Amino acid sequence: MDPVRNPYAPGAGQRPPELAGRDRQLTQFEVTLQRVAAGRPERSMVLSGLRGVGKTVLLNALRGLAVQRAWGTGKLEARPELSMRLPLAQAVHAAVREVAHRHRDPDRVDAVAGVLKSFALRTSVSDRKGVRWQPGSAIEVPATRGRADSGDLELDLVELFTDVADLARDLAVGIAVFVDEMQDLAASELAALCGACHEISQQGAPLLVVGAGLPHLPVTLAASKSYAERLFHYVVVDRLPQEMSDRALLVPAAAEGVDFEPEALDELYALTDGYPYFVQAYGKVTWDSAPASPIRVVDVREAAPEAEGELAVGFFGARYDRATPAERDYMRTMADLAVHTDDGAVSTADIARELARRPQSLSPARDGLIKKGLVYSSERGTVAFTVPHFGRFLRQQSG
């Protein structure tokens, strides 16, 4: 069928034509926004899940809800080995700008901008690599010395958040900062961020930090501050049940006057397991190769090898290529052992035994893979792939 009208959108952070199966989380966040704006106690939200399940697009949808309520919003993507101070300052700056032009008191706006600038300027030179405090967006007020610039991140965040939240409260709205790939924040920064959120929520200030990251993010947060468990509402973003996976395919197709036969949908679900990235990828290829509506099961079967090939290159291959030879050996052994598990979690002791190595000698490979976001460990002594179906992909490669 006409590829120009193909509605499906495989790709990291690509907004799906139909955000299926996330109504509960959206509704819940609506309530959170209203409660926080009213100064009522409420936990913020942290999304966690495997690669390609739709954390980023859900995070963006939550941001959209905050924007609809006229909140100030900003977003950053954490990166390993990069301090969050500057990216966070930029995100908060974006949020402040969204509310500042509606504020009646320019002096108050300038005062907050000055604090934000002093917070940003406290960034060490080594942490400025790759991120600039853009002259174009620069705040044209002098930095306010002595506020949010102590160098103690937690203290500075509390001061910054307090002032920014006060500005939003004047307008009966709030500020929401969205942090994607949150597991990549350094432990000390994660602790500082939790500490600041804790303090801010006790003050009843209308500011939310909403996070998204890999499945071990809740464990990482709990390790950074003992009360993190009570600070956030943890939402596991998971693969879609068939009804929702069908919806993700049917609704965009219907908008183009195209239908699927039920057997075609069953076949697609068997192939994708309801993982959103796979749903989009198979949907896209199937659409292009099907001759006409309704899309039939034979169309799906004919298109499947191409979809698989694209995933092998883009989704799996690109990640596999980032691993060192030692890391690849480690993952192949993981993949072989994962066959015997229900949840894909493999014991690190078993991996060492299989490779005839001492467990400690494998720590660099494991840590490297965790840093690259290919593997995670939610439970001591076990590892699992962050990428769905990765074990299967690796077994096919070697088999």
Give the footprint of ligand ATP on this chain (CB under 6 A): 9-14, 16, 19-22, 49, 51-57, 248, 276-277, 279-280
277: partner contacted, choices ligand ATP, Mg ion, none (Cβ within 5-8 A by kind) = ligand ATP
Residues with Cβ within 8 Å of 161's Cβ and at least 6 positions away in sequence, in order, are: 175, 196, 200, 205, 207
CB closer to ligand ATP, 9 vs 171: 9
Instruction: Considering the complex, state which of residue 205 and residue 311 has its C-beta at the smaller distance from ligand ATP.
Output: 311
**Alpha-carbon span 374 to 388, nearest angstrom:** 10
In angstroms, what is the minimal distance from the CB of 56 to Mg ion? 3
20 binding partner (options Mg ion, ligand ATP, none; Cβ < 5 to 8 Å by kind): ligand ATP
Let me know: does 191 contact 225? Beta carbons within 8 Å. Answer: yes
CB of 52 to ligand ATP, least distance (A): 5
Question: Closest-CB residue for Mg ion?
Answer: 56
Nearer to ligand ATP, 82 or 160 (CB): 82
Beta strand pairing status for 232-236 and 44-48?
parallel
Of these partners, ligand ATP, Mg ion, none, which one is at the site of residue 284 (CB under 5 to 8 Å by kind)? none
Nearest distance, CB of residue 109 and ligand ATP, angstroms: 34
Binding partner at 19 among ligand ATP, Mg ion, none, C-beta below 5 to 8 Å by kind: ligand ATP
Distance of closest approach, residue 173 Cβ to ligand ATP, in angstroms: 26
Length of the chain: 399
Min. distance of Cβ 151 from ligand ATP in angstroms? Answer: 32
Residues that bind Mg ion (CB under 5 A): 56
Q: Are 176 and 208 in contact (CB under 8 A)?
A: yes
Residue 246 Cβ, how far from Mg ion at the closest point, in Å? 24
Tell me the two tokens of residue 278: 């796979």
How far apart (Å, rounded) are the C-alpha atoms in residues 307 and 96?
43
- Specify burial of residue 332 (Cβ count, 10 A radius: 0-12, 13-18, 19+): middle
Residue with tokens 């905050």: 66
- If the CB atoms of residues 157 and 182 are measured against ligand ATP, the closer one turns out to be 182
Give DSSP secondary structure letters for 42-101: --EEEEE--TTSSHHHHHHHHHHHHHHTT-EEEEEE--TTS-SHHHHHHHHHHHHHHHHT
